[in-house]
Every structure is written in C-alpha cells, then in structure tokens.
Amino acid sequence: MTRIIGLTGGIGSGKSTVASYIASKGIPVYIADEEAKKLMDSKQISTKIQAIFSENVLTLEGKLDRKKIAAIVFNSPEKLSKLNAIVHPEVKKHFANWLKLHKNAPFIIKEVAILFETAGNLSCDKVILVTAPEEIRIQRAMKRDNVDRDSVLRRIQNQLPEEEKISKSDFVVHNIDLQNTFIEIDQILKILAKP
C-alpha cells in the first residue's frame, strides 16, 4: 500500500520549493493547488463556480478571474465555503485516480496549502510541515506575489496558527537557508524510505 505523506506550510514558507526538490528525486508529488486550478478551468466546474457569485467572475475568454474570486472569498467565509464545497470533492476524486497511477511507489507526497484546515491530514500517513519565521514568510510572499504587506497578513490570518500546525506534524522543516532545508528533507526522505 502506497503511503500518503502530506506536505504543507503557510504562505511564503517555501513548501513549493520543497515539493519541487522532492519531485527532482523521482518521488511522485501531487500539487493539490495546481490540480485544483486545472479542474476549475473546466467548463463544467467554472459554470458551477460562477453560479455562487452574483457578480461576473469570468474573464472575456470564459476563464475564472482568480484575483476577483480571491478578493471576494477572502472577505466572505460563506462564499469561500461554497467554493470549497465545489472544488474539494473534484480534487479528491482526481487525487484518487492519480494515486492509482502511482500505486507501486512506496510513498507519494501530497502538497496541500491548507492541509490541516481541510482535515486532509487525517488521510495522510505522515505530515511534513515547512515553516519559517513570520517576517521571512511575509517578505517572500510580498516579493513572489507582488502584493502589499496587509494582503499577506490577511492571508496568514486565514490560515491555522503556526504553533498548531507544528503540534500536528510528524516532521517540521525550518526553511530559512535552502541548503540546510534540502539536507533536512534528504534525512526525512531516508526515514520515509524505510518500510
């Protein structure tokens, strides 16, 4: 049975960099956010999503306007939960099919930004948390997303507190210096490779 290893971390923690590094080792990595975006672009799902909003959230090309949706749902927990109710079951189905393709791997990595917030950790055999001091995370997110400090702080407030994530994780990687982070990840992968 293939073990599912959850990989998570707050905004700006560097979990995507860690996921890429793990994938470069030949380990199957499922990036839930990327797959969700692809699924949301399908006509069937984008139509369901548009139905939640009173305002138009589609671009002229008929694709979802992600920035507009993000701005709305970050201020409306009710709309966010309706959006999640459409997207999460689709991602779950997609992941189940993807997992079948990798059933011979000893373990796979499932990278999910809001793993604990969606109780996704309950279906993982182990969880790796990537973390960094808040100030570093804020600076990284501001630079990466080209946004102001306040919008990053709002996103952090929508995520579970770091201490809580740490207490629920099997492995905690402090991603301050990338060289050290990769050394830590290599050690974790060695542990996980043991049956």
In the numeric block, which tokens belong to residue 140? 């990284």
Contact between 128 and 3 under an 8 Å Cβ cutoff? The reply is: no
pLDDT at residue 156, as a whole number: 86
pLDDT at position 158 is: 77
Domain boundaries, the chain: 1-28+102-195, 35-94
Q: Does domain 1-28+102-195 correspond to CATH entry 3.40.50.300?
A: yes
Tens-digit pLDDT string for the chain (195 aa): 899 999 999 999 999 999 999 999 999 999 999 999 999 989 899 999 999 999 999 988 888 998 899 889 878 889 989 998 999 899 999 999 999 999 999 999 999 998 998 899 999 999 999 999 999 999 999 999 898 999 899 888 878 899 999 999 999 999 999 999 999 999 999 999 987
Nearest to 8 by CA among 119, 147, 98: 119
Strand order in the sheet with 107-111: 29-31, 107-111, 3-8, 126-131, 171-174
What is the pTM (predicted TM-score) of this model?
A: 0.88
pLDDT for position 168: 97
